[in-house]
Amino acid sequence: MKEFIQSLKFTWKYAKKEKGRIILFGIANLFNVIFSILIPMIDAKIIIELTANHFERLIFMAICLTVNEVLYDLFDFLSRRLSVVVYHHTLEILGMDLGKNILKLENNSLDEHGSGAFIQRMTGDTDKLADVFNHLVSMFSSLVKYIGILIAIFIVNKIVFLFTLIILIIRYLIERARTNRRKKDDEISRKAKDSVSSFVGELVRGARDIKMLNSENDFMKEMNYRIKDFNEKRIRMQNVSWNYRVFSFWFTDISFLLLIILLAFLIKDKVISISIAMVLYNYVGNVGGSTYLLGDLLEYIKDFNLSCERVKEIIDGDKFKKEQFGEKHLDKVEGHFTFEHVFFKYKEKEVLKNLTFEVKPNETVAFVGKSGAGKTTIFNLLCKMYDVNQGKITIDGVNISELDKDSIRGNITIISQNPYIFNMSIRDNLKLVKNNLSDEEMYNACKIACLDDFIQELPNGYDTIIGEGGVNLSGGQKQRLAIARALVQKTEIILFDEATSALDNETQEKIQRAIENMKNEYTILIIAHRLSTIIHADRILYLEDGKIIAQGTHHELLKNCPSYQKLYESEIKKDE
């Protein structure tokens, strides 16, 4: 119960704005409780008046029953409307906070756990949390109703009350055993569901590659295996639950048989009349659902606690580590940064070893070397996607560990080989990085990125929807749109991560021209396999095994670095 109270306090942070509606919801349910208790009492009175041939009283009681039912329906409608509003508003606030915290997680956490662990928390678990206060108010109202009926039974006949109480206690113990067993199975089932969600995400994102690899059957086999595994665990959980429920149903059937026998003896001994016996029978029938309510409440509490724990793990737990930033803020970044004796490991593999270099404002610097040399890692560390193990990185003389997030990522843009383009119009893709983007700023950015001519030829121009992941654009067009996005963002540092490695010569020339248009106005870093794209860079750093073994201009490296010379000659042969 202590865990449940803590979970409620956590959830209340998101629901407290709906405090007024929750109170109204509780009042509406309370009236429904009163009307629910009155219904069997009025029904009994109708039976008594009917058997006594008191037709005028019978009509009056029938009118009372109708009024009672109408009022019950009215308050039931009101409570349902309030319930929907409270649920959706709470879900909205909770979902936004969870999404914000997911984006704060360290990349290591995202890499290790996969998307399924977060998708289920974002959808299923938040749903349970958002509905808790509605659920509890409804259950509490029902519980009050059952208590009221039990009091009514106690007033009418204490023997039947004692019999009913014993039956309810036994059924409660059965329900408690069921919910305790179900909790363990539910934890196993949720992990299997996370696995399915994660794989479905991979399947959707990688659908094009799966088709190209002709691997549909292999992927469907793996998906079938995961779904079967989840279904087996889910079915096992439900079977155990239903085994307990069937036993409880059988016990309920036997208890009603015993109740009828008890009532028959009480009538025979003239302890109660037939009409009172019918009232008691109706009351006991109505209160019978209380044990299932208690069982459902216990099950809901365990389920709610589990969902709350999974959400809290992301928002304020230790399982998923959050990115840490400093408090210093740079209003205007010049684009001068240094790596000083930087070491970095990724999963026990040492990637960078005592790396030291400097890049000056508005300088264009290229990084070359074999795959695995650490080029992309430099970019990730500069953007603080990962933290260095040793050494330091500075931007404008300030250690990035001391800077806030906006000072780093608000001043750096990465353009990768396959940038992610959102399923929106070109205009909206550009507005994502600057909401108040003017048309003039947009046109200028696209002209510098050598994209404007292409956009003008589209049927809807800048309002053309470009499909999920930019499916309606070529690789070069996506990269040029990413460049335009960077120009709109107006970051001082622009990183090109192998942005031209898989493009044809004509497209490469357009992107190269776009880069040339930005030279001397931005600090530009380029990772390139095609050396032809970086021969005009101010400096080229050649990396090998996490270290810089040579640096200089293109012509200097051709003279002084045999590895660079060999790389350049092999590229010339390919182009021939």
Q: How far is CA 559 from CA 298, 551, 554, 556, 562, in A?
A: 77, 11, 9, 5, 8
> How many residues does the structure list for the chain?
576
Angle at 385 between CA 406 and CA 366, to 5 degrees: 95
Position 215 pLDDT exceeds 70? no
Helix (H, G, I), strand (E, B) or coil at 401: helix
Q: Which residue has the higher pLDDT, 133 or 208?
A: 133
**pLDDT tens digits, 199-213:** 776 666 666 566 655
Q: Which residue has the higher pLDDT, 437 or 190?
A: 437
Q: What is the pLDDT of residue 35?
A: 81
Position 496 pLDDT exceeds 60? yes
Q: Which residue has the higher pLDDT, 394 or 432?
A: 394
Is the four-CA dihedral 252, 258, 260, 262 of positive or negative sign? negative
Confidence of residue 391 (pLDDT cuts 50, 70, 90): very high
Q: Which percentage of the chain shows pLDDT scores above 70?
A: 89
- Helix and strand element counts for the chain (H, E): 21, 10
Helix (H, G, I), strand (E, B) or coil at 376: helix
Position 300 pLDDT exceeds 60? yes
**pLDDT tens digits, 508-551:** 676 677 677 667 778 889 887 777 778 888 899 999 888 999 99
pTM over 0.75: no
Q: What is the pLDDT of residue 532?
A: 73
Q: What is the pLDDT of residue 565?
A: 86
Helix (H) or strand (E) holding 449: none
| Cβ burial 64-75 (10 Å sphere, 16+ → b, else e) | ebeebeeebeeb
Confidence of residue 445 (pLDDT cuts 50, 70, 90): confident
Is the four-CA dihedral 178, 180, 183, 185 of positive or negative sign? negative
- Cα–Cα distance measured from residue 125 to residue 119, given in angstroms and rounded to the nearest whole number: 9
Position 484 pLDDT exceeds 90? no
Angle at 560 between CA 557 and CA 564, to 5 degrees: 45
Mean pLDDT of 408-424: 78
Question: Which domains, from first to last, does the chain contain?
Answer: 2-183+253-315 (1.20.1560.10), 337-575 (3.40.50.300)
**pLDDT tens digits, 62-96:** 888 888 888 888 888 888 888 888 888 888 888 88
Confidence of residue 295 (pLDDT cuts 50, 70, 90): low
Mean pLDDT of 282-310: 75
- Cα–Cα distance measured from residue 253 to residue 379, given in angstroms and rounded to the nearest whole number: 70
Position 468 pLDDT exceeds 90? no
Position 394 pLDDT exceeds 90? yes
Position 464 pLDDT exceeds 80? yes
